[in-house]
Structure 1
Amino acid sequence: MRIAFLSGDQAFKDAVKAAANNWLPHINLTFDFVEGESGDIRISSEPGIYWSMIGTNALLIEEGPTMRLSPDLRAPAFFAANVMHEFGHALGAEHEHLHPASNIPWNKPAVYAAHGVAEDADEGDYARRSVDERYFNLLDASDFDYTPYDPKSIMHYAVRQNWTLGDFKIDLNLVLSDKDKAFMAKAYPFPAAQTA
């Protein structure tokens, strides 16, 4: 898979490569990081943004970035976790907190308030729809290949305790979980070992 850097200094590029390469032992792919504007994935360095197209949808974008990563390297573990998360999207993974079987006891008014959604916003309100899509609208089980819900997944958002009912929270996952590795190994399998 060719991965082009559209922008970013060498420290940023090196940190992206190191974090993304955490996926490689678990997938039958290689990452060929290149300069220029030609790549299956094209990364731009943009402060404050972590975002990626999902899977082969990146191939539908003819020019410009298909992934955006913030260049802030002051918290290396946080940066690496976000890069692994976005590369998970690039490899086809969706958000784990939207898993059809997730059971997060959301305190929706608290989440809306934290994102500046007016208390009286109806379902057609853009800000409310954005929050619903980001946190509450679970994926349709019939549309996806998925494994059991994994709160330890790198694809899971952190869930603040004050955004939930009761004593529930999920801290930011900083490493690939065993289920992340197994899912990608199934999606991008290595050839079966030949026996004589």
Structure 2
Amino acid sequence: DVQLAGLVVDPNFVWKKQTVTIAFLNGDYKERLEFRKIYFEWFKCSHIHFIEAPLNQSADIRVGFGLDKGRSWSLIGSLSTEYSVNLTSGKVYRDFKRDFHPSMVIASVSRRSILHEGGHSLSAKHEHGHALANISWHPYFTNGKMFPQMTIDYIQNNYLQTFPLNQSLGPFDKKSVMLYKIFPAMTTDNFSSNLNEDISMNDQFYSSQIYRHFFDNDYKQCEKKIYPGKSNVQIALECYTTWYTQCMRFVRDGEFCEHHRNPWKEYQYFLWVKNETLPLPYRRVQTNGTIIVIILLLVLLVCICALLVWQHRRLRRIERYLTSPGQQLSRSEL
């Protein structure tokens, strides 16, 4: 059986509205463009319509680059519509204006940082806090002696905090982009994990189920176009262009959006989301496994047929030997 891994999400801060505005506190054109390209990967599995807005328009998410001493962080989901972080005091406060302090800080424009903090901004929490992770942390790590630069509060809040089952979707996912790098020495059972730089298929699967209604909003007109006489390929090429439209709206890089434009794949992805099936890689594994089983069965069938033919010929020889006393057959002929 294929077991799906999950995602840790706070349902209280899942976005209720489909259009979410993002403003930048700083950063040059290149940094902002790179951020938009990478962050937009979350659109595929959420169908949240991201729009860049001026800072003075109280954007839902306020992004800053390198503003917090080399640290990256983000408020969880829709919390950013009400709160910001005062970088001077380091405290979270109720922000009615939302035009000065950030709700997300990226230490450097890197794929891992943007996707990880982007996951937080969509309400995802740290995967190692999954209710089923069962990580046995080493006391030498939890007491702060292993990494003196980490405070006890930091370790408690970012590593040791665990979340209830109603926030832990599916089993624990070692490939999640929301997982920290964990060294074997940090645990008593040599558990370790990598610093994942991609949104895993399980991150995508459960994000898409949380925001499933946004998919329906975007494709409801496409669903109406399905009628006899028109192929799915035609429908896909004509209608499933939401990704490209939103890419041009948020990323605003024609070459990038055109290069990744693929209405047919967008249609297939929506079918996957709508049918709530296994993530695509697992489906391929299952398909490959099925093919292997079929091949093995065919080989077995051929072997059985060959054995039956050989047995039939042997019985014919024995029968001829028994009915013809004067005829001698060698042992090899039998």
**Contact persistence 2:107–2:113 (CA under 8 A):** no
Q: Which residue of 1 aligns with 2:172?
A: 149
Q: Does the 8 Å contact 1:50/1:68 carry over to 2?
A: yes
* TM-superposition CA deviations, 1:1-46 (whole Å, max 9, x none): 1100011112211121111011111112121123324311000112
Q: Counterpart in 2 of 1:50?
A: 72
Q: Which residue of 2 aligns with 1:26?
A: 45
Q: Deviations over 1:76-108 (max 9, x none)?
A: xxx111111111111111110001110223213
Query: In the alignment, which residue of structure 2 is the partner of 1:133?
Result: 157
Distance 1:167 1:148 in 2: 20
Opposite residue 136 of structure 2, the aligned amino acid is P
Matched residue type, 1:85: H
Rounded to whole Å, the distance in 2 between the matches of 1:94 and 1:114 is 24
- Corresponding residue for residue 8 of structure 1: 27
* Same amino acid, percent of matched pairs: 26
Q: Distance in 1 between matches of 2:48 and 2:151?
A: 38
TM-score, normalised via structure 2 length:
0.50
**Amino acid in structure 2 at the alignment position of 1:104:** I
The reply to whether residue 167 of structure 1 matches residue 186 of structure 2 is no
Point out the structure with the larger helix share. Answer: 2
For structure 1, list consecutive stretches of 5 or more residues without a partner in the other structure: 74-78, 118-125
State which of 77, 92, 100 in structure 1 corresponds to 2:131: 100
Gaps in structure 2 of 5+ consecutive residues: 1-19, 84-94, 228-334
Asked if the contact 2:45/2:204 (under 8 Å) is kept, the reply is yes
1:41 maps to 2:61: yes
- CA deviation vs aligned residue, 1:93-128 (integer Å, no higher than 9, x gap): 1110001110223213135223328xxxxxxxx932
- Residues in 2 aligned to 1:130 and 1:29: alpha-carbon distance in whole angstroms: 31
Alpha-carbon deviations, 1:31-84, whole Å to 9, x = none?
11233243110001125121111011111122321101113x4xxxxx111111
Is 1:65 equivalent to 2:102 in the alignment?
yes
Between structure 1 and structure 2, the one with the greater Rg is 2
SS in structure 2 of the partner of residue 132 of structure 1: helix
Match of 2:200 among 174, 177, 180: 177
After superposition, the CA RMSD in angstroms is 2.1
Q: Is the 8 A contact 1:20 1:87 kept in 2?
A: yes
